Amino acid sequence: MVAALELYPDVDTTRRIRTLWRALEADGIPSLGSLHQKHRPHVSLAAAHRLDPHAVADALGDFPVGRGLSLDIDFVGQFVGRVLWLGITVTEELLAHHRAVHERLTAGGVEVWEHYRPGRWVPHCTISLRVPNPMMAPAVRRCLEYLPLRATVVGAALADHANDISHPL
């Protein structure tokens, strides 16, 4: 199980990423869109096996998580384990925002996975969690057809899809 503090892009970017998910599915490549129909395009700022939505909300207080951030989605990447993602160009504004969120979470006693902490985090939008090895190159090519994307963050939530939690922030 995974819980994450997710940033949600504007309607146009969301639509384009969902279109990419459908194109991959048509090519026989599983996407995040078909995993269990609860995911929406997002960028995770923090993640852990479990996150208490009330503890996260208390730690963040009135901090406007993600609101108005601009994201340049310019490249494709993959993590070990056949995870395919769209990469977000790192900016000082994005890193400062990420750092501020984590300072508040830490001060509130909220524990997150090490690889989401400042200095380790790779900003990305997951496209698939299980691309079959022979399909990775075609999947990357398909993703490149949809780039670049320019997005504005319009919302955020703590999401834990396995436990039906979506707590807007």
Q: Rounded CA gap, 6 and 41, in Å? A: 9
User: What residues are paired with 155 via a beta bridge?
Assistant: 8
Helix (H, G, I), strand (E, B) or coil at 68: coil
Per the structure, the count of domains in the chain is 1
Interhelix angle for 11-26 vs 136-144, to 10°? 150
Q: Which helix (H) or strand (E) covers residue 20, if one does?
A: helix 11-26
pTM confidence score: 0.94
- Among 87, 85, 43, residue whose Cα is nearest residue 65: 43
d(CA 76, CA 140): 7
CB neighbours (10 Å) of residue 19?
Answer: 12
Domain carrying residue 151:
3-168
**pLDDT tens, position by position, 70-100:** 999 999 999 999 999 999 999 999 999 999 9
CATH number at residue 111: 3.90.1140.10
CA 127 to CA 90: how far, in whole Å?
Answer: 19
Evaluate if residue 153 carries a pLDDT over 60.
Answer: yes
- For residue 1, the model assigns a pLDDT of 57
Q: Which of 23, 55, 6 is closest to 157 using CA atoms?
A: 6
Calculate the average pLDDT of the chain.
Answer: 94
Average pLDDT over residues 7-32: 96
Among candidate residues 101, 94, 99, 138, the one with its CA nearest the CA of residue 119: 99
Q: pLDDT category, 36, cuts 50, 70, 90?
A: low
